[in-house]
Structure 1
Amino acid sequence: YSHIKPMKIAFLISSLSKGGAEGVAAGLCNSWQTAGHTVDILTFQTNDEIIGYELCEGINLHPLALMKESHSVLKFLQNNIIKIFNLRRRLKAIAPDVLVAFVTDINIIAIIASCGLSIPVIISERVHPGAHKVESIHNLLRKYIYPWAHTLVVQTQDIAVWVKTNLNMQAEVVANPVREPKFRRQAHVDSRNKIIAVGRFTRQKGFDLLIEAFSNISNNFPDWELTIFGNGPERASLERQVRLANLSESVHLPGQSLEIAKEISMADIYVHPARYEGFPNSLLEALAGGLCCIGTDSPGGVAEILKNGEFGFVIESENIDELAKTLSIVMTNETLREQYAHKAPLAINGFTPEIIARKWISILENAQNSFDVKN
């Protein structure tokens, strides 16, 4: 970093509550601030909303308090016009060298709000846009407004190909960072073996598929249990599924954990059954912690992270029978589990926070320099 001229970086994200994109945003901003840049984070949440991540001293937080429900097209337009004008006013006051934005709707607002302000905008999709459904208006606006951004950053080559094909844009590929784990996998304190999964309780994450697969084989493995950490709109549905399958003694949905790295370290197998993804942080953390992992070949970064089977098992997305079969093989064979657990940390080489932060800074610096030349 020593040769890099300090920049004034503005970062726009909907909120800093607990979540994958939010965690990456907080981590990047902390890295940049520590490296000597000035960082302003703008969110649409209110002053009193809980921030899910620690921020470095010196980072300026601007909660714009503009999160409002849009129950009609008119209200949608009104709310977004208010966001654009308020954001534009704040950007004029901050006068950043670059503006970074995360997630489709926020990206669109960032591009429109910064028009004519001589601020290069770097936007980022945080999940596979071909699989993740957004409002049709956002789909349309993405197609016509994204090219106004200086750079679009995605997390995988798979997503970059989609962007080239569907948006006719060249995307920069930068993975998510993963820290050295606080805990390594440890011996059990109880007699039961553990399968773990982590994520928001939405259809995207595929936890219904995992519960069904486990249900199909659970009678053969009375000494195994499944724990899924997280919360979200599908909680009631997943709880009902567990209850109807009579799995209340062996499948647990304890909610979010503040010590997920510790929970991962006490498990035997990590499963990521998502229907589609971006670049899942929980899978990276499980690999870093030395856990045998199973993931799907769904759109996004799971198969790419697992190097198509080199560092973990990759199965067909939404194939419950294959998931149940793979679980059975891994649960039965401790030697096989240990082989994959031993090489799991190798999968995250090159994903340290320092390396990823430097890649981002290179993109931001390039945007600033090319914008200066153009102007």
Structure 2
Amino acid sequence: MLSEQSVPVVRATLPVVGAAIGDITQLFYRKLFDDRPELLRDFFNRGNQANGEQQQALAGSIAAFAGMLLERSDERPDAMLARIANKHASLGVTSGQYKLVHEHLFAAIAEVLGDAVTAEVAAAWDEVYWLMANALIAAESGLYKEAGAADGEVWRSMEIVERREQTPDVVSFLLRPADGSPAGAFRPGQYVSVQAELPDGARQIRQYSLSAAPGGSQWRITVKRARGAAGPQGEVSSWLHETARAGDLLTVSLPFGDLVLGEDEGPLLLASAGIGSTPMLAMLDHLAATGSDRRVIVVHADRSPADHAHREELRRLVDAHPSASLHLWYETGGDAGAAAGQADIGALDLPEGLTAYLCGPLPFMRSVRDELLRRGVPAAAVHYEVFGPDLWLGQE
């Protein structure tokens, strides 16, 4: 927690820092990439830099962390940062990189806020930064240890065993280690990073959920192509769709992610929209493979039946589960047993003790979460996964 001398300083300056945090994070990334251009080329997502989402996510995480230190001083904020730590681990972030971030972030703060950054203010916000950084470093170290890897050593070569077109915009890949070793275990709901060497020489990294149950000799990822995206947005998904074929090798990380299926026996809600169905498929597949009889309410929304990747597989998995029910919504196009329009869980029978897992576009997840909270589901029982920077951080 913050020291006694820093609390009043951070409380007094948080409105000023918060109002300027967008400018600070933009300047921070500019300074960072001017100093280390290879980080933009080979590490940070160029699409998220171009559309500003990474800057928004960093700003939101700093403001949310500082606010929690002030308002919930008796709580450890590590849980709030678990999603960031897992994403960092999937990229191979190491503790030394936090010093580089600190250097350029505080240079940006001083430049944007000018004379307002007194020695006292700088010391207080330095404390905020290192509390956040050290919490992440500790969490990431634990994740590496749990994965049996040295810090940052998460990458290996995997061969594409099979490529399968799921829809015109979605393709799945079966992967196995190129050295013949076992694919390895993971928890249903986790994702891996894929590093793509693009035509301009950049090595861009993106995360994809593992979309089938653990336990086999192979992993499966499912990739939606981002059509119509400008500039670098969608460049890795397009590269995979256009070039990746059976027999090719991909550089893939170990599995990470905090949206993982709990091991209790309580009822579940698995709610997804679009490509957000992928972690839910792994959860359902795992439940079927282990003979679970937990009650499972499956909700999925999509543009149309033709756009719904793994549609028949989802039906088969639900049918194979003795206590599962499926609720589908399509915006356009008819499908037996599906409703028209956007998902509406208001009329669903939600049992006591429900745990909910959400994945899909932010408006979808916010709508479902709001309805769950209105129906009395505790906030702690609602878990979510965001593809890309977490623009929801701090709004829970």
Q: TM-score, normalised by structure 2?
A: 0.27
